């Protein structure tokens, strides 16, 4: 008789090619995404004279460096043009399918990959990008890897891995109106800490998680890395199947039927064992914003900037003092009084159609008090948002509607926040300098960013309801 | 990869928690080719500029920091910046998972110590430190502390093993797996492409 298994145990077991006595397992990789930043790995392959083992399972997508303005013309910055060209050359040389700069399906790896149906339940998915955890929303084992591992996957379509511990985070009950997956995830990170899930594979469970759309589940799993997790996942269900049906790269016909049958067997057994369990009540979650320079430095919008002198842990107090100095905030100041200079809606965390709809709903009929940019997660999301009239709501509010890419989340393409400027952002990292040297980032949901745009300060979106 | 057994050198003390890989190498420098100059010149540049960190000094090859060191982006360039500067070991109470794995691929030891021992090392005076991978100890003056490291990583670092060579020797196991898997999961292949 089989012992009870978790979703993660099942994903792990079916991908083990070989188990070594020291505990490392060689895992088969079903999908591999590469982007402009993967050039170090292609360089390592070239230096060995190695071939790409399975070009049919690797997909290239231009996202990290792509310009968001003036698309269709030549890339003006020579070093950025070189990064984009290098990806085209490397994928062409190895026979890898590329969603390049001018492809109508281009977008952020974690948006395009999923909307094309490349990511399926039960698969292993890797990419040289930490937010690969996003794909776990489908019930896949998806994790970010470094350049040496990218080279290893290119050369062998496998990876040596040690099995992480299992952690279940359950969120039970119904969330209050206006609460999104982003608020749930920021609350989880504030609760367990930015290294709270280190060494663990997270499974998100509970009725509040099952109630989320695929877009919401992707936001949740995306930020597993901000909780320190190796990966995050949600068991596939009817929501997953409905999302995938008919996607270009998803199976069809009898293969589809076989796949759906297989996916139904993946969920964790009722008596599956986890190394760690965390439980949250959905009803207690409020719209959440970050106040510091780590995603764990997050609080409900109704709270005040915390006082480091009142913190019991001296290391946390030191980190808070440093964060407040960088962020230009004063202890005791209500978060909802903090003025912002700019807003950004985009990134692999919150740039899908549902995110844009939520932001547009708040912005409709208003003018933004501050400048800002909206970058849809893929060129197809951009097209859909234009067809639905969302793009017009953003531009009529005074926000800039641009093309798809990683953009102002990481600033590699030149979309940056100026030093000292405060940005309300739908992104995933409020690290020092993440959006540009000296930039001050507050993370929140798309609806909360839209509310901040309308009032010019951090704002409780529930007052727009 | 250069094998690691023991390293004695100047210790860089970085009393900061959550030092992310964007701090180790800010994103704007990653368009630069790594060779010939290396990424060491970009290491911690912004944290030094704002006064949170003192600049790493030539000769320092061991670094101690507070918890969650190397969190954030999976960029292996963060380890290239450390390794190109000359660092061979990093010590902290916890690490970003991907960063720690990237360290091992580049012959850099990620040594996990308790919060208390990290504070003791951070409080040491300007003395050289010794990281002994066989004994799993760190010594600096009178302070001698144990550290933890995954045993597999330890073996790899001690031997300087390269993963790809090991895996290419597994071609038969991989072929057997794919034959079985293609029969069991025919739906797993991308429909087009």
Q: What angle do CA A305, A307, A310 make, to 5 degrees?
A: 145
Instruction: Tell whether A148 and A222 lie within a shared domain.
Output: no
CA–CA min distance A417, chain B (Å): 13
In this predicted structure, what is the pLDDT of residue B158?
95
Residue A1 has pLDDT above 70, yes or no: no
Query: Is residue A254 assigned to a domain?
Result: no
ipTM (interface predicted TM): 0.93
Best A148, A249, A405 residue to mutate vs chain B (most B CBs within 10 Å): A148
Total count of domains within chain A: 3
Instruction: Tell whether A298 and A440 lie within a shared domain.
Output: yes
Question: Which residue does chain B place closest to A16, by CA atoms?
Answer: B177
Task: Classify A176 in phi/psi space as left (phi over 0), alpha (psi -120 to 50) or beta.
Answer: beta
Average per-residue pLDDT in chain A? 97
In this predicted structure, what is the pLDDT of residue B166?
82
In this predicted structure, what is the pLDDT of residue B127?
85
CA–CA min distance B127, chain A (Å): 24
Instruction: Tell whether A19 and A157 lie within a shared domain.
Output: yes
Q: Which domain holds residue A118?
A: 7-163
In this predicted structure, what is the pLDDT of residue A200?
98
In this predicted structure, what is the pLDDT of residue A21?
86
User: Who has greater pLDDT, B27 or A448?
Assistant: A448
**Inter-chain residue contact A146 with B20, CB threshold 8 Å:** no
User: Which residues of chain A does B97 touch, with a Cβ-Cβ cutoff of 8 Å?
Assistant: 164, 198-199, 228-230
Q: What is the mean pLDDT of residues A73-100?
A: 96
A85: its two tokens: 């060209």
Query: pLDDT digits over A407-419, tens only?
Result: 999 999 999 999 9
Instruction: Tell whether A229 and A319 lie within a shared domain.
Output: no
Q: What is the mean pLDDT of residues A2-19?
A: 95
User: What CATH number does residue A170 fall under?
Assistant: 3.40.1060.10
CA–CA min distance A189, chain B (Å): 13
Instruction: Tell whether A300 and A393 lie within a shared domain.
Output: yes
Q: What is the full per-residue pLDDT of chain B (193 aa) written as tens digits?
A: 789 999 999 999 999 999 999 999 999 999 888 989 999 999 999 999 999 999 999 999 999 999 999 999 999 999 999 999 999 999 999 999 999 999 999 999 999 999 999 999 999 987 899 999 999 999 999 999 999 999 989 999 999 887 888 898 899 999 999 999 999 999 999 996 4
In this predicted structure, what is the pLDDT of residue A269?
97
Instruction: Tell whether A130 and A191 lie within a shared domain.
Output: no
Query: pLDDT digits over A192-241, tens only?
Result: 999 999 999 999 999 999 999 999 999 999 999 999 999 999 999 999 99
B6-188 architecture in CATH?
Alpha-Beta Barrel (3.20)
Instruction: Tell whether A170 and A102 lie within a shared domain.
Output: no
Instruction: Tell whether A275 and A301 lie within a shared domain.
Output: no
């Amino acid at each position: 008789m089989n012992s009870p298994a978790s979703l993660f145990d099942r994903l792990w077991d079916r991908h083990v090619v070989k188990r070594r006595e020291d505990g490392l397992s060689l895992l088969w990789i079903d999908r591999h995404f590469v982007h402009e930043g993967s050039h170090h790995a292609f360089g390592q392959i070239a230096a060995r004279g190695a071939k790409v083992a399975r070009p049919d399972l690797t997909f290239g997508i231009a996202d990290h460096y792509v310009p968001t303005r003036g698309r269709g013309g030549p890339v003006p910055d020579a070093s950025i043009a070189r990064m984009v060209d290098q990806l085209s050359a490397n994928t062409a040389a190895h026979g890898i399918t590329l969603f390049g700069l001018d492809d109508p399906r281009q977008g952020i790896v974690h948006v395009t990959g999923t909307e094309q149906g490349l990511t399926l339940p039960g698969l292993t998915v890797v990419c040289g990008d930490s937010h690969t955890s996003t794909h776990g929303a489908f019930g896949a084992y998806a994790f970010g890897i470094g350049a040496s591992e990218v080279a290893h996957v290119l050369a062998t379509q496998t990876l040596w891995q040690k099995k992480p511990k299992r952690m279940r985070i359950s969120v039970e009950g119904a969330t209050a109106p206006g609460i999104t997956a982003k608020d749930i995830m920021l609350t989880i990170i504030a609760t367990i800490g930015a290294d709270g899930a280190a060494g663990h594979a997270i499974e998100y469970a509970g009725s509040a998680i099952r109630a989320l759309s695929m877009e919401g589940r992707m936001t949740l799993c995306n930020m597993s890395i901000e909780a320190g997790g190796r990966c995050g996942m949600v068991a596939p269900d009817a929501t997953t199947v409905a999302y995938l049906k008919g996607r270009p790269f998803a199976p069809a016909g009898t293969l589809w039927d076989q796949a759906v049958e297989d996916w139904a067997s993946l969920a964790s057994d009722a008596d599956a064992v986890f190394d760690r369990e965390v439980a949250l009540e959905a009803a207690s979650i409020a719209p959440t914003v970050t106040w510091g320079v780590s995603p764990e430095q997050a609080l409900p919008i109704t709270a005040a900037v915390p006082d480091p002198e009142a913190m019991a842990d001296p290391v946390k107090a030191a980190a808070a003092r440093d964060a407040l100095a960088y962020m230009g905030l004063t202890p005791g100041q209500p978060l909802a009084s903090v003025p912002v200079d700019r807003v950004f809606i985009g990134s692999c965390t919150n740039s899908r159609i549902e995110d844009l709809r939520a932001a547009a709903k708040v912005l409709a009929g208003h003018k933004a008090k501050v400048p800002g940019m909206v970058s849809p997660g893929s060129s197809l999301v951009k097209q859909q948002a234009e067809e639905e009239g969302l793009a017009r709501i953003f531009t009529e509010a005074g926000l800039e509607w641009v093309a798809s890419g990683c953009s102002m989340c990481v600033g590699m393409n030149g979309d940056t926040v100026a030093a000292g400027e405060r940005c309300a952002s739908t992104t995933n990292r409020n690290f020092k300098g993440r959006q540009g040297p000296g930039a001050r980032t507050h993370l929140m949901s798309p609806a909360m960013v839209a509310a901040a745009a309308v009032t010019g300060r951090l704002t409780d979106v529930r007052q727009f309801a | 990869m250069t094998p690691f057994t023991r390293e004695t050198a100047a210790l860089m003390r970085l009393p900061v928690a959550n030092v992310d890989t964007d701090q180790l190498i800010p994103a704007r420098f990653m368009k630069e080719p790594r060779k010939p100059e290396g990424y060491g010149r970009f290491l911690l540049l912004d944290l030094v500029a704002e006064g949170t960190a003192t600049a790493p000094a030539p000769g320092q090859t061991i670094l101690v920091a507070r918890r969650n060191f190397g969190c954030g982006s999976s960029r292996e360039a963060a380890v290239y910046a450390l390794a190109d500067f000359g660092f061979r070991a990093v010590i902290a109470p916890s690490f970003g998972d991907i960063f720690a794995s990237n360290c091992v691929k580049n012959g850099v030891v990620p040594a996990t110590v308790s919060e208390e021992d990290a504070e003791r090392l951070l409080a040491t005076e300007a003395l050289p430190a010794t990281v002994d991978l066989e004994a799993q100890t760190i010594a600096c003056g009178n302070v001698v502390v144990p550290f933890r490291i995954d045993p597999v990583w330890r073996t790899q670092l001690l031997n300087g093993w390269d993963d790809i060579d090991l895996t290419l020797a597994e071609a038969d196991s991989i072929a057997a797996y794919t034959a079985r898997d293609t029969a069991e999961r025919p739906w797993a292949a991308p429909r087009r492409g």
